[in-house]
């Protein structure tokens, strides 16, 4: 008996239909449209490297996924949220260097290509790219029967941006005496879901909104803040929670963090899991999506800029002189019952 590729579980026609749909629904003009030479549909995408406005242009690249939040998307059959997570995890990392995202590529793999699910996902990628001033320039849709079961799928993202070397943000700009600003998270973002899925296993439907809520996109906010002045380094609070803060500090500096109101969904996780505050703060973002290291004189202005961009910011702490490797600690070790 003869067998063809479709009978083995791979529907090439469905893949072609998805590419056609993606081309048809693409915006009339992508961000950086003037530099897009060839995009979706070819063997490779072409982007014109025209950076005359930069003195020393440096390309910046980031890649990431969304972890086991994928399982939450499959459970609720809702995919736009994790699509935004995918873009956000890449571009939010990128802007920590002060870079401007240029283009994004996605990888979407499933056991069987379901067009409705894939369209929902890619529509979310498109929208998040536009919001991040980034062009969706290409990607890959892989159908792998036998690797993924049922409606399971996985995704990965890759983004490239540019920054002028003299304008790069980072630990090299940080000194003791600078202030720390917290930028509010939109929710759990896309970290810690192996824990969250267990914590909310018995009543996931009741927590649908909080579990699906996508990672905030911080690109426009960071660019507005950098333009306003006073931002020296940025830590994107992802997996590892506050352990990401020292990544924005040089050796010999420590971050001292004041208490902040932890959102209710995180308090619920602590209650259900019995985790210590020490574990909570190094597992989840606990309401803080980014930490900025800023000049003391810029604190009020940057809080105002964040509000104008639709984000909430507050003074979180300061940078102290320390010893050895960079570190962080809480100003009050008894904060809300913190135990070690």
Domain of residue 107, CATH code:
3.30.1330.10
Q: How many domains does the chain have?
A: 2
Provide mean pLDDT across the span 148-165. 96
Residue 334 has pLDDT above 70, yes or no: no
User: Residues 70-111: pLDDT tens digits?
Assistant: 999 999 999 999 999 999 999 999 999 999 999 999 999 999
- Of residues 315 and 324, more confidence is placed in 315
Residue 30 has pLDDT above 70, yes or no: yes
Find the range with the poorest average confidence among 20-29, 119-128, 145-154, 283-292: 20-29
Provide mean pLDDT across the span 122-138. 95
Spatial separation of the C-alpha atoms in residues 329 and 105, rounded to whole Å = 37
Residue 287 has pLDDT above 90, yes or no: yes
pLDDT (0 to 100) of residue 27: 76
User: Residues 213-222: pLDDT tens digits?
Assistant: 999 999 999 9
Residue 8 has pLDDT above 80, yes or no: no
Q: Are residues 198 and 128 in the same domain?
A: no
Mean pLDDT of the chain: 92
Residue 33 has pLDDT above 60, yes or no: yes
pLDDT category at 14 given cuts 50, 70, 90 is confident
pLDDT (0 to 100) of residue 23: 76
With 0.75 as the threshold, say if the pTM is over it. Answer: yes
For residue 251, give the CATH number of its domain.
3.90.650.10
pLDDT (0 to 100) of residue 337: 45
pLDDT (0 to 100) of residue 323: 81
Instruction: Find residue 234's DSSP bridge partners.
Output: 292
Instruction: Find residue 59's DSSP bridge partners.
Output: 162
Task: Select from 139, 167, 195 the last residue of a domain.
Answer: 167
pLDDT (0 to 100) of residue 95: 98
- Per the structure, the complete domain to which residue 316 belongs is given by 171-337
pLDDT category at 340 given cuts 50, 70, 90 is very low
- Concatenated DSSP letters of 117-185: HHHHHHHHHHHHHHHTT-EEEEEEEEE-BTTB-TT-EEEEEEEEEEEEGGG--SGGG--TT-EEEEEE-
Q: Are residues 125 and 83 in the same domain?
A: yes
Residue 5 has pLDDT above 80, yes or no: no
Per the domain annotation, does 188 fall within a domain? Answer: yes
Q: Are 286 and 241 a contacting pair, CB within 8 Å?
A: yes
Q: Are residues 150 and 196 in the same domain?
A: no
Residue 45 has pLDDT above 90, yes or no: no
Task: Select from 149, 167, 185 the last residue of a domain.
Answer: 167
pLDDT category at 31 given cuts 50, 70, 90 is confident
Q: Is the Cα dihedral 26, 32, 37, 42 positive or negative?
A: negative
Per the domain annotation, does 222 fall within a domain? Answer: yes
pLDDT (0 to 100) of residue 230: 98
Per the domain annotation, does 85 fall within a domain? Answer: yes
Q: Are residues 205 and 157 in the same domain?
A: no
pLDDT > 90: what percent of the chain? 81
């Amino acid at each position: 008996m003869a067998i063809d590729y479709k009978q083995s579980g791979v529907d090439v026609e469905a893949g072609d239909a998805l590419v056609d749909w993606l081309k048809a629904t693409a915006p009339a003009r992508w961000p950086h449209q003037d530099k897009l030479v060839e995009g979706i549909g070819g063997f490779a995408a072409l982007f014109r490297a025209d950076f005359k406005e930069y003195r020393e242009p440096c390309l910046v690249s980031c890649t990431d996924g969304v972890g086991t939040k994928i399982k939450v998307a499959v459970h609720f059959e809702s995919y736009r949220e994790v699509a935004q997570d995918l873009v956000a995890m890449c571009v939010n990392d990128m802007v920590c260097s002060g870079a401007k995202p240029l283009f994004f590529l996605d990888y979407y793999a499933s056991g069987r290509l379901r067009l409705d699910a894939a369209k929902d996902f890619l529509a979310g990628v498109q929208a998040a790219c536009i919001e991040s001033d980034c062009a969706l320039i290409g990607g890959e849709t892989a159908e792998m029967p036998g690797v993924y079961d049922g409606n399971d799928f996985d995704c990965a993202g890759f983004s490239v941006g540019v920054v002028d070397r003299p304008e790069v943000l980072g630990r090299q700009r940080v000194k003791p005496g600078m202030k720390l600003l917290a930028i509010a998270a939109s929710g759990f973002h896309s970290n810690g879901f192996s824990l969250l899925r267990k914590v909310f296993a018995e009543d996931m439907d009741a927590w649908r909104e909080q579990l699906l809520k996508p990672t905030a996109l911080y690109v426009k906010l960071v660019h507005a803040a950098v333009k306003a002045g006073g931002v020296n380094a940025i830590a994107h609070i992802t997996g590892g929670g506050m352990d990401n803060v020292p990544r924005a500090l040089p050796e010999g500096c420590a971050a001292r963090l004041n208490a902040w109101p932890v959102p209710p969904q995180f308090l619920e996780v602590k209650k259900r899991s019995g985790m210590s505050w020490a574990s909570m703060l190094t597992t989840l973002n606990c309401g803080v999506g980014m930490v900025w290291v800023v000049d003391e004189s810029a604190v009020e202005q940057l809080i105002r800029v964040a509000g104008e961009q639709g984000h909430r910011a507050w003074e979180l702490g300061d940078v102290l002189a320390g010893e050895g490797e960079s570190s962080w600690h809480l100003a009050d070790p008894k904060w809300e019952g913190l135990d070690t």
